[in-house]
A and B are shown apart, each in its own frame.
Chain A
């Protein structure tokens, strides 16, 4: 047993006082300004939500914005992490003009930065140009979104269902489709009755 006084336990620095976190915030601010600058005219808003950079854009500008994000020598968002969609139908502030939101998440392997592009689509015309021309990996992800939401990707090289069988008539992740389906799962012939 030593008589030495134990060192005081070090408390982790609080979020605000941490010098590194201030540095991160400053960097974020610079990033946002840079994105606003590069995407001028292609996006309506650049903000931080839940610590993620979100770029609001629209159907006519989304591909041009993706092209800038990918090919700009300072941005270098060279990887498509994911594309997904949201059906806003059950939201309290729902309007048919914003029925679906398509979300592209792109990542820069070199800069270790990630941004999200949000594009609202209307109920009557859920169409958006394909990102497959910019990022090749987008083609399969877009097939999955088409499969689940029925959102059409104009110019897609091969827009077919990918998970559900080709004969399926509905888009199951739309909020107006019941969880248990419309009887598709009960519609088979008993094996011993088939010749």
Chain B
């Protein structure tokens, strides 16, 4: 029920009414500021996504921030090893709320082919992840799809935790 129905004199005057949290969500989802945690080859594909050919700015997420305090979307793209994991966790903690995390590629999500002593077998063990993108590396279209899924989470069309880590059984 909009205000314009309750106050007939407002109808047709260029007004519409909505909820404040919906406006905020609409603004947030269309102006995501990603923090690129690019540690390996997946980061190259993330750069391609940001370039004019795929142009992530069509979805409002082109303002890459290199300070975690200014960003609200963490894109973990690449391998994370022993020495890097505390750095990643600290960057996650430094980001202001609300914040979302994309784990891009096989390595960030599960360790990928690197089942070795320094390689973290999935960053979601130590930081919360909202969207997992499969692929080695994922194509730019996949990353764009991931960002669109984050947008769905932000405006309430999807639940947090709805997009779960791919498992071997699910394949």
Residues of chain A having any CB pair with chain B under 8 Å: 164-165, 168, 172, 177-182, 184-186, 188-192, 194
List chain B positions with a Cβ less than 8 A from chain A.
82-83, 85-86, 89, 92-93, 115-121, 125-128
Q: Is the CB of B117 within 8 A of A184?
A: yes
Cβ–Cβ < 8 Å partners of A184 in chain B: 82, 117-118
Are the C-beta atoms of A165 and B83 separated by less than 8 Å? yes
Q: How far is the CA of A88 from the CA of B121 in the complex (A)?
A: 30
Q: Are A191 and B127 in contact (CB under 8 A)?
A: yes
Residues of B within 8 A of A165 (CB): 82-83
Given contacts A190-B126, A192-B128, could you give 4 more A-B pairs where the C-beta distance is less than 8 Å? A178-B117, A179-B115, A191-B89, A191-B127
Report Cα–Cα, A188/B81, bound state, in Å: 12
Q: Which one of A164, A185, A186, A192 has the greatest number of beta carbons of chain B within 10 Å? A: A185
The listed residue (A180, A182, A190) touching B116 by CB distance below 8 A is A180
Q: What residue of chain A has the Cβ atom nearest to residue B119's Cβ?
A: A185
Contacts of A181 in B (CB 8 A): 116-118
Please name the residue on chain A nearest to B92 by beta carbon: A191
Task: Report the separation of the CA atoms of residues A168 and B82 in the bound assembly, to the nearest whole angstrom.
Answer: 10
**Contact at A188–B83, with CB atoms within 8 Å?**
no
In the bound complex, do residue B116 and residue A188 qualify as a contact, i.e. CB atoms below 8 Å apart?
Answer: no
Structural contact, B125 and A188, CB atoms closer than 8 A? yes
- How many A-B pairs have beta carbons closer than 8 Å: the answer is 52
Q: Which residues on B sit within 8 Å (CB–CB) of A172? A: 117-118
Distance A172 CA – B119 CA, assembled complex (angstroms): 13
Which of A168, A177, A182, A189 touches B126 (beta carbons < 8 Å)? A189
Query: A191-B89, A194-B89 given as contacts; is B82 within 8 A of A164 (CB)?
Result: yes
Question: How near does chain A come to B98, taking the closest CB pair, in angstroms?
Answer: 13
Return the chain B residue nearest A177 by Cβ. Answer: B117
B89 shortest CB reach to chain A, Å: 4
15 contacts between A and B (CB under 8 A): A164-B83, A165-B83, A172-B118, A178-B117, A180-B116, A182-B117, A184-B82, A184-B118, A185-B82, A185-B120, A190-B125, A190-B126, A191-B126, A192-B128, A194-B93
Q: Complex Cα distance A181/B120, Å?
A: 11
| Closest B residue, CB atoms, query A195 | B93
Query: In the complex, are the beta carbons of A188 and B117 less than 8 A apart?
Result: no
Complex: A184 Cα to B120 Cα, angstroms: 9
Check if B126 sits within 8 Å of A188, measured CB to CB.
Answer: yes
Which residues of A lie under 8 Å from residue B121 when comparing CB positions? 185-186
Chain A contacts for B125, CB-based, 8 A: 186, 188, 190
Report the minimum CB–CB distance from A15 to chain B (whole Å): 39
Q: Does A188 contact B86, Cβ atoms closer than 8 Å?
A: yes
A182 to B115 Cα, complex, angstroms: 12
Chain A hits for B83, CB < 8 A: 164-165
Complex contacts, B126 vs chain A, CB 8 Å = 188-191
The CA-CA distance from A78 to B37 in the complex, in Å, is: 42
Shortest distance between the CB of A5 and any CB in chain B (Å): 55
B116:A179 contact, CB within 8 angstroms: yes
